[in-house]
Amino acid sequence: MEALRETTVWGKGIVSNHTYLLDGSNLVAYIKIGETTPFYFKNPIKNFDKRGRKFEVLKKNPFKVVKDASMIEVKGSNGATYTIDPEAKTCTCPGYTFRGVCKHITGLVK
């Protein structure tokens, strides 16, 4: 996964720059400028187009910083830690990212 902060200069009031989380060329999530809560897409946006835009690669992933009292952390079968939002019924695991459903949510929400 790669975190990119957009640095494109668009002109006054035209477009806001955000921070994006990419898995290869697929856009998985973004954080609006001035906010800290990421929005994860149910299905990633394939082949995120970066033409005509400027970005800086972030060394520290801003998506892991976000914590909410209602969020639940689970360990995946490969040992990675994923975050479940039980209210929105979303998960940060690759299964949910690509299919929109995963065993973490189905095991939690019955």
User: pLDDT tens across 19-62, in order?
Assistant: 998 888 888 888 887 777 778 887 888 999 999 899 999 876 65
- Nearby residues of 55 by Cβ (< 8 Å), 6 or more positions away: 4, 5, 6, 7, 8, 20
Least confident of 57-71, 73-87, 96-110: 57-71
pLDDT at 67: 47
DSSP H/E element including 73: strand 72-75
pLDDT at 66: 44
